[in-house]
Chain A
Amino acid sequence: MHRALTLTRRRIVSSIPVLLIVIVGTFLLLEAAPGDAVDAYLLSLGGGDAGLVAELRQSYGLDQSLLKRLTLYVGALLRFDLGWSVTFDRPVLDLIAERLPNTLWLMGAATALAFSLGSFLGIVAGARPGSLTDRALSTGSLALYAVPSFWLGLVLVLVFAVDLRWFPTAGIETIASGKTGLARVADIAWHLVLPVSALGFIYLALFLRMMRTGMTEAWRQDFVLFARAKGLARRRIVLRHVARNALLPLVTMLGLQAAAMLGGSVVVESVFAIPGFGRLAHEAVSGRDAPLLTGIIIVSAMLVIVVNLLVDIAYAALDPRVGSGEAAS
């Protein structure tokens, strides 16, 4: 427990400069992109005179210098105020609180799917490296990995929603259904089947291949040879000795994938019209909404940091060699 605490403290301290770089970087990047939030708004406005444009800029605070805006933003941030989104005309915190759960559900379920099914199939493939099953699974997963997630999403919609009508085409739950409690949970789960599949199946390949490679290596280790010499059942060797040792890198991968999944959810959320974080980020960029985008990126960065911290803690628990380095230094 003490190790976990030290780890946490170290991570929090080291994440502060990361967050600062993220904030300044986002502001500068959006500033470098041509056009501002008012330009982005003018199309949906359908036109207006010069006075209106100037008034809008003033009311958005865009008539002030970048440094002034950045200072104001960071100052507010220190008071835990994420600012005001001009694209939605609402507080950034409200928007994030509203959208984050949807994305967490999507990412969590997709990660669980990719990890569990991926490592299971990886064990199947790695049980007999070079076998027909192995080759079929490896090729199949590689093909899946090469598929863009929006395309997979659209195909899933066409087959399972439009033709077979097993699942809804889009959305997070049945609109204005008035469902509550368990019925609502079931409804949301039913809506998430296709998007989770679209996102999860693509990352599945990564876990599958990693598991398989790890197992192929483990088969060549002396302890496996010893286990076989002991006359252990093959099944026992595969699960207890080979797979277990190949599992560790997958846990590391989980942490790394958290960031990639966030990126992938932008596309999947758009295709399936899920009001999530990814779609919000997209709208923030096209609206040149600096406070909103910065807020999203800060929360995303924190999310990735937390996931990686959890992974490290899990890792330390799984492998006694990890984390002991501090005591030695």
Chain B
Amino acid sequence: MAGLLISRRNLLLGAGALAAAGWPLRMAWAAGAEEAPRGGRLVVAADSEPRTLNPAIVASNGVFFIASKVIEPLAEAMMDGEGGLAPRLAKSWEGSEDGLSITFKLREGVTWHDGEPFTSADVAFSAMEVWKPLQNLGRVVFANLDTVETPDAHTAIFRFSAPTPIQLIRNALPVVTSVLPKHLYEGTDIAANPANKAPVGTGPFKFAEHRPGEYYRLTRNDAYWGEGLPKLDEIIFRVLPDRAAAASALEAGEIQLAAFSQVPLVDLERIASVPGLKVVTEGYEALTYQLVVEINHRNEILADQMVRQAISHTIDRDFVVDTVFLGYAQAATGPVPQNAPQFYNPDVKPYSFDIERANRLLDEAGYPRGEDGKRFSLRLLPAPFFSETRQFGDYLRQALGKVGIDVTLVNNDTPAHLKAVYTDHDFDIAVGSPVFRGDPAISTTILVQSGIPDGVPFSNQGGYANAELDTIIDQAAETIDTEARTALYNDFQRIVVEDLPLINVAEWGFTTVASDTVLNVGNNPRWPVSSWTDTALAS
């Protein structure tokens, strides 16, 4: 297991070359599904209890982690699937030439956990009453959705008021299309429906019980449409808020799996050496987190492009990957991560680690060192979300100190940080960790687009405005042709890297620690938030 760290890095280093061929890590999947026996109870660590288990309203990883086993989307991400997708409740989908409609053919013979049949009415209801008006991401993706027609029980036609790229919808399917049972939600206050806490879905597992503060229990859905699936009889999500607790419970054999790096990086080496436990880095390819330096362009020093470029040259990205992430990450080149081959532009010019150049740029920009060796002062707010974002804040302070930029660190807890950066704009630079959600239009353009109102989290709140970028973003939002749209996003990346509205530093996925007895771990690019139909326990 000691070699794992190295092999992971090698895989990632090779990722750029493989990028055009589909999911970069597909090589790792060649082994295919392991021979999986049926039965058994899988006990998994959960670090928090989401306040709702309704992924149709809250499309977040915390909700999906538990709810994705109960409620299914129209399609799920898949390594070798067509367009990176595996059909779930939809069997196929097709966009019209004009981009004004998309037709979904739905799976037949599917029943809800309470025995009612699943039909196109459920999809239409979910889309019009939940995804579009209520869901955090669906409000953006389905903003132009007009109506959903249901010519028969297994066909749903989505009609849009403006051309909508099929590429965007396809990429969004796994995240934004969790289907709810119309018969339980219709005519009720959807946000307060009891089924939000005890979900009823079509998935491989039924929701059985939640003991607050202790565990969630899911049991096998014997009527699941997938033949011979699921493999497990029961999944228990055990609430273990303390990071050390997950590692101890794994070692003591009380739980068999901890995902989303619940075992912290610093403990991985020790845990990997425990007999019977394995560290899995696969399964997070479509859940890439990005380490970025957010910049407040209202600060006139930072409004200078040369200053931003100097800051980018000051950061030793390889050092950050090796020390902050202990190798479990890769250096970023731009706003689209390298394991999003559909969009990644490998031709952008990366910023080398070059202190001399940084110093020269700062001199040229008109900020010479003062008598005390300092050029100017900045307030840095590292996001408290991950230990890595905080540690990188410490690194950045030192790195900028070397080129004469005096940095004051301001550490806040989560609500205070979000308010300071995204509502009050009370920062000069901040360390953030946006997630790449499969399509730049869902997660990435919002980071640089102008005109976003105050208070929108994880968006451009630095006051950056670039008319050229805004035009590209608007164009791409309506470009139906996949190739033309991809080309627009290539330009987008080039401009972002050149002008640096924000500075991309690294990209990382998480790690899973599991008992050797758990089979088929990490075999799709959104594994921890997928349905775990083929996850099994070796007897």
Contact = CB atoms under 8 A, between A and B. Distances in A.
Interface string A97-122: 01100000000000000000000000
Given A52-B139, A169-B254, A88 B51 contact: yes
B136 A162 contact: no
B240 A39 contact: no
Interface in A241-284: 270-276, 279
Contact of A275 (B214, B452, B457): B214
Given A273-B239, A275-B212, A279-B241, A161 B248 contact: yes
A286 B458 contact: no
Contact of A44 (B60, B251, B413, B419): B60
A63 to B, nearest CB: 12
B534 to A, nearest CB: 23
A154 interface: yes
Contact of B248 (A42, A88, A98, A170): A170
A35 B252 contact: no
Contact of B418 (A33, A39, A161, A170): A39
A188 to B, nearest CB: 12
Interface in A80-104: 86-89, 95, 98-99
A175 interface: yes
A162 B58 CA distance: 37
A34 B416 contact: yes
A99 B52 CA distance: 20
A50 B456 contact: yes
Interface string B389-418: 000000000000000000000001111111
A172 B248 contact: no
A89 B52 CA distance: 8
A175 B137 CA distance: 35
Contacts of B241: 270, 273, 279
B261 to A, nearest CB: 16
Nearest to A42: B457
B140 interface: yes
Interface string B122-139: 000000000000001101
A212 interface: no
A61 B532 CA distance: 39
Given A35-B419, A286-B413, A53 B244 contact: no
B502 to A, nearest CB: 15
A279 B213 contact: yes
A162 B236 contact: no
Interface in B250-289: 251-252, 254
A195 to B, nearest CB: 12
A13 B60 CA distance: 49
Given A158-B248, A270-B241, A275-B239, A47 B458 contact: yes
B248 A162 contact: yes
B385 interface: yes
B435 interface: yes
Q: Which of A35, A50, A168, A286 has the most CB of B within 10 A?
A: A35
Interface in A17-72: 33-37, 39-54, 59
B240 to A, nearest CB: 5
A221 to B, nearest CB: 49
Contact of B419 (A34, A59, A170, A172): A34
Contact of A169 (B136, B252, B414): B252
B110 interface: no
Interface in A307-326: none
A162 B415 contact: no
B456 A273 contact: no
A176 B236 CA distance: 9
Interface string B207-221: 001011111010000
A271 B246 CA distance: 10
A45 B58 CA distance: 6
Contacts of A43: 385, 414, 418, 457
Given A169-B248, A279-B213, A273 B416 contact: no
A206 interface: no
Contacts of B417: 35
A171 B258 CA distance: 16
B323 interface: no
A56 to B, nearest CB: 10
A33 B51 CA distance: 22
Contacts of B249: 169-170
B295 to A, nearest CB: 19
A49 B140 contact: yes
A173 B248 CA distance: 17
Contacts of B240: 170, 273
B217 A176 contact: yes
B299 interface: no
A176 B44 CA distance: 13
Given A34-B420, A273-B242, A275-B239, A48 B248 contact: no
A95 B244 CA distance: 25
Contacts of A275: 211-214, 239
A288 interface: yes
B50 interface: yes
Contacts of B416: 33-35, 39
Interface string A158-180: 10011001001111110110000
A162 B252 contact: yes
A157 interface: yes
Contacts of B414: 35, 39-40, 43, 286
A286 B209 CA distance: 26
Given A46-B60, A47-B457, A175 B214 contact: yes
B427 to A, nearest CB: 12
Contacts of B43: 175
B252 A165 contact: yes
Nearest to A48: B136
B62 interface: yes
Contacts of B58: 45
B236 A39 contact: no
A40 to B, nearest CB: 4
Given A162-B248, A271-B242, A279-B241, A45 B254 contact: no
Contacts of A47: 136-137, 443, 446, 456-459
B456 A40 contact: no
Nearest to A59: B191
Nearest to A87: B51
A57 to B, nearest CB: 9
A237 to B, nearest CB: 48
A294 B213 CA distance: 20
A55 to B, nearest CB: 9
A89 B414 CA distance: 19
A181 to B, nearest CB: 18
B61 A46 contact: yes
A267 to B, nearest CB: 10
B453 interface: yes
Contacts of B136: 45-49, 52
Minimum-distance CB pairs A-B, first 8: A275-B213, A35-B415, A34-B416, A39-B415, A48-B136, A35-B419, A40-B415, A50-B453
Interface of B: 43, 48-52, 58-62, 136-137, 139-140, 191, 197, 209, 211-215, 217, 236, 238-242, 244-245, 248-249, 251-252, 254, 385, 412-420, 423, 435, 443, 446, 452-459
29 contacts: A34-B412, A34-B416, A35-B418, A36-B419, A40-B414, A45-B58, A46-B137, A47-B456, A48-B139, A48-B457, A49-B136, A50-B454, A50-B455, A59-B191, A88-B51, A89-B51, A158-B248, A161-B248, A162-B251, A169-B252, A173-B214, A175-B43, A175-B215, A176-B209, A271-B242, A271-B244, A273-B241, A273-B245, A288-B415
Given A42-B418, A50-B456, A162-B251, 5 more contacts: A35-B416, A40-B418, A169-B248, A170-B248, A275-B239
